[in-house]
Amino acid sequence: MAEDLIDVATARARVLAEARPLAPERVELAEALGRVLAEDIASDLDLPPFDASAMDGFATRAGPPEELEVVGESRAGHPAARALAPGEAIRISTGAVVPDGAEAVVAVERTETVSHGGGQGPGARERVSVPARGDGDHVRRAGEDVRGGETVMSAGVRLGPAEVAVLASLGRAEVECGPRPRMAVLVTGDELVEPGTALGPGQIRDANVYALAAQAERAGGRIVGRALVRDELEATVAALGEAIELADVVCVSGGVSVGPHDHVKPALERLGVRERFWGVALKPGKPTWFGVHGSTLVFGLPGNPVSAMVTFHLFARLALEHLAGVVEAARERAVARLEGSLPRESRRDQAIRCRLETRPDGWHAWPTGSQGSHILTSMLGADALALVPAGEGELAAGERVELELLR
């Protein structure tokens, strides 16, 4: 492995080459948050669908100050019964249809009721005095937001609250979305016990099932299996075989090196999973393994929890997103200025956990302390991974670094 490490970009390209989008499915809008859109959305109507009032007040013709007779009302959802004629006003609410014949809306605060001839009875005539107003004042024009026929969203975007809201206003009760890729998480290690279990000699608690399953869910994956596997070849073969049957993506952590108790690679070989890479010029994350079995993608991630999380974020998350249909151009990219210098590694890129702060000149990134791959708390408070390219000397304070956002 050490001889033929590939760089991060090459490794990611190999993941992308294998991650073909899964067949889309129809999803109810109320369930669509976080899904990836699998169709272009063209509007079949104008938004707003009609000229609407932006104020509570009176709909009128444009013109000089004058006194008008109030002849009806247009409320939100209840248009006026008739059109407006010269000399008339129609009481109107925000969001109500501007009646035919009206050209402007006058805010109620700028008007004065001048008479209530006839009291409240059937003969009551309400008159209102209005100031000068121009054509279109306080009128929201039909189509100002969206024009009928316009494409408002493209396949490949992840649906956030705003996208869901726009789809609702376009009347889409269902949308075509990429499915949530099925993900199985296995961890290997005789030293591992579940949280909630007392520690025996030499034991530690398994952090990686929790880390990787949480990351997968954040990335839009659906967990279909999680297991803690002992450092035995047969057990590893059995657990991996089952996971490959169940899942679109399998992540297995630990046991992926060449020690006498590392069984992941021999097990994958036995199962016929075809290797696409093993060994990335990355710190942390060197012993990362990637291969395919039919349409299932398998990642062998290092056991150290930080390494597992970093490599999940850089490689497995990419796979989950692409299976779900994310278009590469829609992915978030960012840069920041580095606070404090960092020694470079001559042969490996580094993924430095950073806290971000926004300043007038953009983002600034502070490393979150010790960067050892076993220092899991260095992930606490980390907003991003700063990618420091391999090279000699140090990356000086103030230099720009590329970011992979963690949140």
Residue ranges that bind Mg ion, judged by CB under 5 A: 189, 254-255, 303
Which residue in 43, 60, 296, 304 binds ligand AMP (CB under 6 A)?
304
C-alpha span between 388 and 400 (Å, rounded): 9
Number of residues near ligand AMP (by CB under 6 A): 16
Site string for ligand AMP, 137-156 (x = CB under 6 A): --------------------
Q: Which stretch, 98-106, 238-246, 296-304, 322-330, contacts ligand AMP (CB under 6 A)? A: 296-304
Site string for ligand AMP, 305-324 (x = CB under 6 A): x-------------------
Q: How far is CA 326 from CA 146, 164, 235, in A?
A: 24, 16, 35
Give me the amino acid identity at 388: V
Q: Which of 130, 149, 148, 139 is closest to 104 using CA atoms?
A: 139
Does 253 engage in binding with ligand AMP (CB under 6 A)? yes
Which residue in 207, 244, 273, 324 binds ligand AMP (CB under 6 A)?
207
Does 285 engage in binding with ligand AMP (CB under 6 A)? no
Q: How far is the CB of 199 from ligand AMP (least distance, A)?
A: 12
The full DSSP string for 196-255 is TS---TT-EE--HHHHHHHHHHHTT-EEEEEEEE-S-HHHHHHHHHHHHHH-SEEEEES-
Give me the amino acid identity at 222: R
CA 387 and chain centroid, separation: 21
Q: How far is the CB of 393 from Mg ion (least distance, A)?
A: 35
Note if the bond before 367 is cis, omega within 30 degrees: no
Nearer to ligand AMP, 238 or 376 (CB): 376
Does 254 engage in binding with ligand AMP (CB under 6 A)? yes
Residue 300, contacted partner among ligand AMP, Mg ion, none, CB below 5-8 A by kind: none
Does 220 engage in binding with ligand AMP (CB under 6 A)? no
Does 255 engage in binding with ligand AMP (CB under 6 A)? yes
Does 302 engage in binding with ligand AMP (CB under 6 A)? yes
Q: How far is the CB of 275 from ligand AMP (least distance, A)?
A: 17
Q: Which of 214, 157, 151, 145 is closest to 32 using CA atoms?
A: 157
Q: Which of 190, 206, 219 is closest to 314 using CA atoms?
A: 219
Q: Which stretch, 6-14, 132-140, 143-151, 300-308, contacts ligand AMP (CB under 6 A)? A: 300-308
Q: Which of 204, 206, 172, 199 is closest to 26 using CA atoms?
A: 172
What is the H or E stretch that residue 182 is in? strand 182-188
Q: Which stretch, 101-109, 120-128, 188-196, 244-252, contacts ligand AMP (CB under 6 A)? A: 188-196
Q: Which stretch, 20-28, 165-173, 206-214, 380-388, contacts ligand AMP (CB under 6 A)? A: 206-214
Nearer to ligand AMP, 56 or 191 (CB): 191
Nearer to Mg ion, 254 or 300 (CB): 254
Question: For tokens 């839009």, what's the residue?
Answer: 220
Nearer to ligand AMP, 74 or 253 (CB): 253
The sign of the dihedral angle between the CA atoms of 221, 225, 230, 235 is negative
Q: How far is CA 150 from CA 42, 159, 167, 399, in A?
A: 5, 19, 13, 42
- Main-chain phi, psi angles of 339, to 5 degrees: -95, 120
C-alpha span between 48 and 170 (Å, rounded): 10
Nearer to ligand AMP, 60 or 208 (CB): 208
Q: How far is the CB of 251 from Mg ion (least distance, A)?
A: 15
Q: How far is the CB of 295 from ligand AMP (least distance, A)?
A: 27
Does 257 engage in binding with ligand AMP (CB under 6 A)? yes
Residue 207, contacted partner among ligand AMP, Mg ion, none, CB below 5-8 A by kind: ligand AMP
Give me the amino acid identity at 244: I
Nearer to ligand AMP, 114 or 204 (CB): 204
Confirm if 83 and 143 have CB atoms less than 8 A apart.
no
Produce one character per residue of 66-87: b if its CB has 16 or more CB atoms within 10 Å, e if not.
eebebbbbbeeeebbeeebeee
Q: How far is the CB of 262 from ligand AMP (least distance, A)?
A: 7
Q: Which of 207, 186, 255, 214 is closest to 377 using CA atoms?
A: 207
Residue 288, contacted partner among Mg ion, ligand AMP, none, CB below 5-8 A by kind: none
Which residues contact ligand AMP by CB under 6 A? 187, 189, 191-192, 204, 206-208, 253-255, 257, 302-305
